[in-house]
Amino acid sequence: MAVNYDSAIEALETAMASGTLEVEYDGKRVKYRGQTELLSALSYFRSQKRAQAGVPAVGVSIGAVYRS
């Protein structure tokens, strides 16, 4: 059974906003161990949704230059 990414993302965003760790979507109930794990799942579902839509993955690099 395919996951409905929109419902998973919505449920995870709602959980993040309310501070709860238990999420229900597509008839599944998942309890995350912490906000970090929940945020990781949210990132995963967002990237899967982008991939399904044919949008390439986004990479970010941050550099710093220090002068003395």
22-58 residue pLDDT tens: 999 999 999 999 999 999 999 999 999 998 888 776 6
Note the pLDDT of residue 58: 66
d(CA 32, CA 3) in angstroms, rounded, equals: 18
d(CA 14, CA 22) in angstroms, rounded, equals: 10
Give the residue extent of every domain in the chain.
Answer: 5-52
pTM of the model: 0.76
